[in-house]
Structure 1
Amino acid sequence: MSDTRPNPMQWIGYAFGRRLPATMQDWVANDLTGDHAFRRHLIRGMVPFVPIFVLFTLLPGPAWLRGATLLLGLLLALFYCAAYMGQNRARRLHVHGLPTDLISPRNRAKRAEERAAYEATYRAA
């Protein structure tokens, strides 16, 4: 595998917060700001919880109770993962030596377009 994309062990370390080599900065920037970044963030955020989810399935009791415990844990983990996405994203960007306010090229173009439309509307007045 090339040094511009992490191998599975590097990706798991990345999911737990480890820094990837400098040669993968473009991949990290795309991972954190590219298309589907929110979905990738939620998936990456669930990886550290997998051992806890496995333990929930080993609890004694009926299967419906273990399933409900697992579902509650999953929903809470997803909620907090989504709620702190901005802070987690900024921290990962900082750890990898990238600007913490980095935005995707698509969002940058959209902001420029909105700004041009605003200035065209309100500068003339």
Structure 2
Amino acid sequence: MVSDSRSKPAGLQYVRYAYGARLPASMRDWVANDLAGPGAAMRMVVRWSIPCIILLAPMMLVPADLVIRLNMTLPILLPYIFFAIALNRVYRRYRLDQHGLDPDLINRRERERNADLYDEYHRKYRGERRRPRG
């Protein structure tokens, strides 16, 4: 399959990519946007929650009260989601590096959004030092 830099992975290739496989170099632009673009953090949390939900879904079929079924699933699901959120940046940085991209792309949007704050900080606290007179 010949693809240009704007192409997206299809079907099984996307599923493999979502859970750790590497995409061809021709899809680097798509990978950069997927891992560092708008909504990247949410996409990653959803991707990593799906396998856990699939594994826990049969517990919801146990013939018991809803409270008992929730008590069987939520203590597993909630910490899993918390860890997915907490390790999100770490894993996205790793995936960018895995694809030969700059891991600092994750911070790009934040830097662009807060550029005026960074400029003000550098002007105020990191400006040129005064030379001693004399």
Per the shorter chain, which TM-score range?
Answer: 0.7 to 0.9
Shift of 1:111: 4.6
Taking only the aligned residue pairs, the percentage that are identical comes to 35
The residue aligned with 1:21 is 24
The residue aligned with 2:123 is 120
Structure 2 counterparts to residues 39-118 of structure 1, below 5 A: 39-59=42-62, 61-103=64-106, 105-118=108-121
Aligned residue-pair number: 124
In structure 2, which of residues 10, 14, 34 is the aligned counterpart of residue 11 of structure 1? 14
Residues 17 and 48 of structure 1: is their aligned pair in 2 closer, same or farther, counting only changes over 3 Å?
Answer: farther
RMSD of equivalent CA atoms: 2.5
Further displaced range: 24-33 or 115-124: 115-124
Scaled by the length of structure 2, the TM-score of the pair is: 0.74
Further displaced range: 112-121 or 19-28: 112-121
| Structure whose alpha-carbon radius of gyration is higher | 2
Cα distance in 1 between the residues matched to 2:25 and 2:109: 24
Contact 1:15 1:44 in 2 (8 A): yes
Q: Deviations over 1:56-100 (max 9, x none)?
A: 234454443223322332212111101111221122112111122
For residue 23 of structure 1, what is the amino acid of its counterpart? Answer: S
Residues 62 and 110 of structure 1: is their aligned pair in 2 closer, same or farther, counting only changes over 3 Å?
Answer: closer
> Unaligned 5+ residue runs, structure 1?
none
Q: Deviations over 1:18-71 (max 9, x none)?
A: 112222211111111111222111111113324312232344544432233223
Contact 1:15 1:47 in 2 (8 A): no
Shift of 1:120: 2.8
> Unaligned 5+ residue runs, structure 2?
none
Shift of 1:6: 1.8
